[in-house]
Amino acid sequence: RLKEGRALIQDVWSIFAAVNLPADCINLGQGYMNFAPPKWVTDSAEEALKTVAPNHYSHPRGRIRLREALKAHYGPQLNRDLDVESEILVTSGANEGQYSVFTAFLEQGDEVIMFEPFFDQYLPSVTFNSGKPVYVPLHPPADSIKKPTSDDWTINIDELRRAVTPRTKMIIVNTPHNPVGKVFTKAELVAIAEIAEEFNLLVMSDEVYDCLTFDGKEHFRIATLPGMWDRTVTVGSAGKSFAATGWRVGWLIGPKSIIQPTLAATTRIVFCTNSPLQEATAAGLEQADKHQFFETQRAEYLERRSILCEAFDKLGLKYTLPEGSYFVLLDVSKIEIPDEYTFPETVSGRGRDFRVAWWMAYEIGVSSIPVSEFYCDEHAHIGEAYARFAFCKDNDTLRKAAERLLGLA
């Protein structure tokens, strides 16, 4: 199975990893921060390392302190008294959690619908588990829109309905969306939920950027819609919430009917998630309110977003203003690269966006992620118009990047 599709092609994160780029290139590619998690969170990590129990295996469900903290955090938002024994599962990053859901539920040929562009990992995670990805477009903003926002990327519910077949098992929803930054509206989620109900589908709701919404956009959880709890698994991440992407701590929240089989899968894949950082994540959730952490973080990200977007405004380049997540899609179709420029094989064999992103990394000194990777091969040409810039970096770095980007003029 690994021979199929793009499984053996180097993934975009490895191609655009900092080690392959010039040493002084400013890395706005892979979405990770160049600042530390909050001190009161890392202090808890240190404390956990000095304590015997959290240096050892945790229960495969996750350490009880973290499950209790997740219950307290999510319970009110989901209007549920969550059962820490059967409705919460800690996973080794959101990614492993999602993989385990596929392992638990997909049978040969089961179809999984995802909106395209999609976070690239979904595709191999589905195919490695014998599933078949089915794509429904998130339509790019019309050309006539001069200053598009992520809201201008739209879904057509009839297209979703037409994508459903007797083999459809699941729909993946990703809000706030990577790479578009779209925060799905309640109306959109209601329409998706109606289809899930009508055709008896599971919903995997990847909400890892839930704490990052802007411009008055409210994150809405599809699991809270009538009838949806029983068919939805909500995915979260410590990496995004607490600037700790390397910790690989994520979680799944959902009904026992989804969590129990997924627990069986995750137990056999990783057995359990690293214990000390589960303690620290628990501390993060427990103390977030006291530190007004999520409000402050959101304001900081808003400023980061504007530093980057102001540079694009000055250049007169079109981009999608994201109302969620920490990514900006820049339209790179008008950026010209010299014909004679040479690229490594990993880049030259891919879409134009790979070449533009590589050239910008080497010649402008700012890296990004080519967006065709977030499309299936057949639709990759749509993504070739964009490069994704991550703004999860400190202000000084973003200002420096903005200055360099002005060199595109």
Task: Point out which residues bind ligand GLN (CB under 6 A).
Answer: 13, 30-31, 121, 178
Question: Least CB distance from residue 239 to ligand GLN, whole Å?
Answer: 8
Q: In this complex, which beta carbon is closest to ligand GLN, that of residue 103 or of residue 325?
A: 325
Element (H, E) at 192: helix 186-198
Question: Least CB distance from residue 327 to ligand GLN, whole Å?
Answer: 7
Angle between helix axes 293-315 and 395-405 (nearest 10 degrees) is 10
Question: Least CB distance from residue 23 to ligand GLN, whole Å?
Answer: 21
Q: In this complex, which beta carbon is closest to ligand GLN, that of residue 150 or of residue 178?
A: 178
Question: Least CB distance from residue 387 to ligand GLN, whole Å?
Answer: 13
Longest dimension (CA), the chain: 62
Question: Least CB distance from residue 121 to ligand GLN, whole Å?
Answer: 6
Q: In this complex, which beta carbon is closest to ligand GLN, that of residue 91 or of residue 178?
A: 178
Q: In this complex, which beta carbon is closest to ligand GLN, that of residue 207 or of residue 279?
A: 207
Q: In this complex, which beta carbon is closest to ligand GLN, that of residue 58 or of residue 274?
A: 274
Contact yes or no for 321/380 (Cβ under 8 A): no
Separation of alpha carbons 337 and 332, rounded Å:
10
Question: Least CB distance from residue 326 to ligand GLN, whole Å?
Answer: 9
Question: Least CB distance from residue 245 to ligand GLN, whole Å?
Answer: 7
165 CB contacts (<8 Å, ≥6 apart)? 111, 134
Separation of alpha carbons 371 and 384, rounded Å:
6
Element (H, E) at 329: strand 327-331
Alpha helices (H) in 38-127, listed in sequence order: 39-49, 64-78, 93-105, 122-127
Closest residue to ligand GLN, judged by C-beta, is 31
- Number of residues that this document lists for the chain: 409
Question: Least CB distance from residue 17 to ligand GLN, whole Å?
Answer: 9
Q: In this complex, which beta carbon is closest to ligand GLN, that of residue 86 or of residue 121?
A: 121
Q: In this complex, which beta carbon is closest to ligand GLN, that of residue 135 or of residue 391?
A: 391
Short-list 253, 251, 198, 199, CA closest to 222:
253
CA 137 vs. chain centroid, Å, equals: 17
Short-list 225, 270, 228, 215, CA closest to 248:
270
Separation of alpha carbons 126 and 104, rounded Å:
11
Question: Least CB distance from residue 149 to ligand GLN, whole Å?
Answer: 20
Separation of alpha carbons 154 and 177, rounded Å:
12
Q: In this complex, which beta carbon is closest to ligand GLN, that of residue 30 or of residue 91?
A: 30
Short-list 187, 153, 117, 96, CA closest to 372:
117
Separation of alpha carbons 12 and 10, rounded Å:
7
Q: In this complex, which beta carbon is closest to ligand GLN, that of residue 18 or of residue 163?
A: 18
